[in-house]
Amino acid sequence: MKNNERIIGIICIIGILIYVMFAIYNLIIDPSDTYMVTQGTIAKEDEGVGYIIRDEKVVKGEDYENGIYEIASENQKVAVNQSIFRYYSDNEKEVTAKINELNYQIQGLLENEKNKPSSADIKAIEKQIEEKIQNINEVNNYQEVSENKKNIDSLISKKINFIGDVTENQEIKALINERNSYESQLKNGAEYQTAPIGGIVSYRVDGLEDKLSVDNFNLMTEDYLEEIDLKTGQIIAASDNCGKVIDNFKCYIAVTMNSKESAEAKVGDKVTLRISNNEEYDAEIVQINEESGKRTIIFEMNKMTDALVRQRKIAIDVIWWSDSGLKVPNKAVTKEKGLNYVTRNTNGIQTKLLVKVVRQNDRFSIIEPYEDEELKELGFSSSEIRNYRKITNYDEVIINK
């Protein structure tokens, strides 16, 4: 009995030594990189430059040399035939100076008023004025400062009109009435411009509204777009003699590409666009123009952002697809007889596991284990299916060299 126990002990020690030597060989003599399997997302995308196309109508009158007074502010929504701006009259500066003087007088009386007039409309306007003032403090672009100042003047005018309706102070009422008479002088005989379509107002007119038009989709190729000679990310300056109304429900972006994905793209395909501010938007391919082996693809977005109004040419990423699941490097996947495998490493013990590759980009794959029915369709026997080992989250796999 003692001899048998001694023999069993020796066999156990030899087994442990063999296991240790095998582990040392795997970890030291023949080291392999490993990767922990986790849930992740992969995507296939192309970088490019997009030209922004809008359904927009420029509005310009005959007295444009005097400049414009904005009735509707930048990005304000307007209905068809709603007034959006008027042209300055000849005595605009003198009358405006008198209005500004009255504004200061009215404001001074309001500060000393014990029962200051208040309403939901007045509070809303005051909040907008505070936001515009904050914007002025944060920007250093003259054009943006000028636009914010115009918006503040317009909001102050609206606030004073609301105050005139609710105040009981007769002195304030008299000053507001005098102010309104001066405003009437400005309006009388002024040339007003109205919205030809419903949408949002913009004064950023760059002269490309006809060239980059929804009516010219068929012309848009790489050569056509490059001839426009625009800088990527350039902000469109506001015009002082005209404006426009933009359909705010649709926006189009034309991008020229020559990747495999763009070559396989079709009209009607759904993609995701990531624009320069890193926000992502759903889009659909509405037209494809081919020239010299390159395709100019026109995407439609059901969104009109401030960035898309302010710019005409932007950096853009086209995300063709994205998938989520168990994520591993491509080098962890091997192919044998048309099937994909990964090698799981458990404390130095390596096990080859059959996996299904759902998606694959240049670096990573999304994998998942097969279901029993799928294994049956592949011809696996009942015993093989019972013994099938599945890859799971946090498994460690070998990265092949």
Q: Tell me: the pLDDT tens digits for 111-123?
A: 776 666 666 777 7
Distance of alpha carbon 16 from the chain centroid: 59
Round to whole Å and give the CA distance between 1 and 135.
Answer: 93
Provide the pLDDT for residue 360: 93
Mean pLDDT of 90-113: 81
pTM of the model: 0.70
Contacts of 90 (CB under 8 A, 6+ apart): 66
Q: Given this chain, do its domains 32-42+326-399 and 46-57+204-322 carry the same CATH topology?
A: no
pLDDT in tens, 228-246: 989 999 999 999 899 999 9
pLDDT-based confidence at residue 63 (cuts at 50, 70, 90): confident
Provide the pLDDT for residue 117: 65
pLDDT-based confidence at residue 2 (cuts at 50, 70, 90): low
Which of 21-30, 73-82, 164-173, 387-396 is least confident? 21-30
Provide the pLDDT for residue 239: 92
Provide the pLDDT for residue 29: 45
For the cut 70, the answer to whether the pLDDT of residue 267 exceeds it is yes
Phi, psi (deg, nearest 5) at residue 295: -115, 130
Q: Which CATH class is domain 32-42+326-399?
A: mainly beta
Amino acid at 367: I
Q: Look up the CATH architecture of domain 46-57+204-322.
A: Beta Barrel (2.40)
Provide the pLDDT for residue 107: 78
Which of 3-7, 68-72, 76-80, 200-204 is least confident? 3-7
Q: What is the chain's percent helix, strand, coil content, to nearest 5?
A: 35, 35, 30
Give the residue extent of every domain in the chain: 1-31, 32-42+326-399, 46-57+204-322, 89-189
DSSP per position, 169-210: -HHHHHHHHHHHHHHHHHHTT--EEE-SSSEEEE----S-TT
Round to whole Å and give the CA distance between 133 and 152.
Answer: 8
Which of 102-106, 183-187, 252-256, 396-400 is least confident? 183-187
Round to whole Å and give the CA distance between 151 and 380.
Answer: 73
pLDDT-based confidence at residue 289 (cuts at 50, 70, 90): very high
Mean pLDDT of the chain: 86
Per the model's pLDDT, the better-predicted residue between 313 and 292 turns out to be 313
Mean pLDDT of 334-361: 93
